[in-house]
Amino acid sequence: MLPPFKTESYVDFNDPVIRKKMEDALALVESKLGRDYPLVINGEHIFTDDKFTSINPGDTEQVIGNFSKCSAELAEKAIAAANEAFQTWRFVPAEARARYLLRAAQRCREKVYELTAWMVLEEGKNWLESYGDVAEGIDFLDFYAREAIRLAQPQELTPYPCEENDYHYISLGAGVALPPWNFPFAIMAGITVAPIVTGNTVCLKPATPAPAIAWQLVEIFEELDLPKGVLNFIPGAGSEIGDLIVDHPKTRFINFTGSMEVGTRIYERASKVHADKGQIWLKRTVLEMGGKDFMAADETANADTLAEEIVIAAFGFQGQKCSAGSRVILHKDIYDEVVEKVQKRVKEIETHDTRTWNDGAAVNNHGPVINKSSYDKILSYIEIGKKESRLLNGGAPAKVAGKEGYYIQPTVFADVPWDARIAQEEIFGPVTAIIKAKDEDDIFRIANSTMFGLTGAFYSQKRASLERARRELHVGNLYLNRKCTGALVDVQPFGGFNMSGTDSKAGGRDYLQLFLQGKSVSEKL
């Protein structure tokens, strides 16, 4: 009997004992940098001549690893291996499949500081954000194991005379997991193991900026003797194999988290049935995309609490979260006071190489953005913002002594029109836009004004306003009197509306059913 699920606890890196464990883990991981990594197809390690390099975005001279690049031919081989493995894996009992996840979760706990260190180096995430990412990945492993066992039990039906009726769930087939780079352990683990524990097989194509972290999970499952072909590791360029693995007639589902542009492309391509190539099903697409999330408050909100949480929501992991508070909507009566407090708090943020830990709040440990492409895009939006509104903080690259990296100052714009580009388009970086609202109606109108609908927060001391927010604010994850980031597995199932995706509710009790189909069996007695 498994104990009830509970989320992993965080640690305090200001504790000297904890800090020493992290420093030791960083030294261990740095001793492993620069290695060559293979593809894994049907259990075979395949090294290719064509490789790509993962680097530390906060110190671009530091090479994390060199990764074999999957070709079209090898992608075909991986899909074939996944389909072959499916023929036996689908019949493995749910309890046995779940044990792989439970043992992987325990192995991750044993290696938690090492896994955290890989993320610090490959992502430029600070220690606490990285630790939280690993903790969430462990939560996905633990929770989905329990869910698979629950869903494998006989489903209740209405009895009918002279018949034995049964309704149960079966798996779909071989599919593709396409995780993002911004939560490279948590989301990568979640979207990979959910199909596996429900009896499907997976070809995992990690995000190009974060393959080393994905490799750690692949290696753990190899150590646990997960059957060959159940999990295939195929890093490579989306431009070379992305369309192939989505279009393939033997691909049964695509599990994706990333940008709206890529997600909608997958949605369109996956809808085409390749009957001439033997496809006899409609593919499932599980798509979590972008957001333009809000932190909103009426005139009764506490200005000090609100300002602190605005800064945390906007600048945690340099704003590189689909849930980041990239819009701030303030009632006119508290606007000036909160703007002043936000400006003061942002001035205290320190940008630095996240391999070290600065005492104080995690948001003070502000690192780089992920790569040159993101760096250039964010800076271009900052220039747009300067034309659309008033620059309050930042607005330029940041310098870190002795390091070449993709650092950008935490940037705040005030007096932003609700329909400005920086208030409507996802920037995915350390930029937030503060908007003045004239009354409650205006707050709600502005909050619902984008094409997205992922997360949002509303602060008020008025019960009627909070109840109205429950009804009218159209986001998949709504937070009342708390910030719009930080969803926990099975506490706040996560997923959004509109162009934020298919509202998959990752970490919720509906999620595994996305990778299952119901089968009804009736026998006359």
What residues act catalytically? 288, 322
Exposure string over 419-445, b if 16+ CB within 10 A, otherwise e:
ebebbbbbbbbbbbbbbbbeebebbbe
Would you call 30 exposed, middle or buried from its count of C-beta atoms within 10 A (0-12, 13-18, 19+)? middle
Please name which of 263, 2, 218, 269 lies closest in space to residue 115, comparing C-alpha atoms.
218
Name beta bridge partners: 457: 295, 479
Name beta bridge partners: 3: none
For the beta carbon of residue 8, count every other beta carbon within 10 angstroms: 20
Please name which of 480, 434, 420 lies closest in space to residue 456, comparing C-alpha atoms.
480
Say if residues 139 and 147 touch (Cβ distance below 8 Å).
no
Would you call 123 exposed, middle or buried from its count of C-beta atoms within 10 A (0-12, 13-18, 19+)? buried
Please name which of 58, 118, 130, 121 lies closest in space to residue 367, comparing C-alpha atoms.
58
Q: Is 520 helix (H, G, I), strand (E, B) or coil?
A: strand
Q: CA quadruple 219, 34, 212, 104: dihedral positive or negative?
A: positive
> The tokens 């303030």 sit on which residue?
330
- Return the ∠ at Cα 364 (arms to 361 and 366), rounded to 5°: 135
Say if residues 418 and 469 touch (Cβ distance below 8 Å).
no
Residue 417 in tokens: 């029109």
Q: Indicate the DSSP class of residue 376.
A: H
Say if residues 289 and 499 touch (Cβ distance below 8 Å).
yes
Residue 289 neighbours by CB under 8 Å, 6+ apart: 257, 258, 259, 260, 263, 264, 322, 496, 499, 500, 501
Residue 64 in tokens: 């994390």
Rounded Cα gap, residues 326 and 75, in angstroms? 37
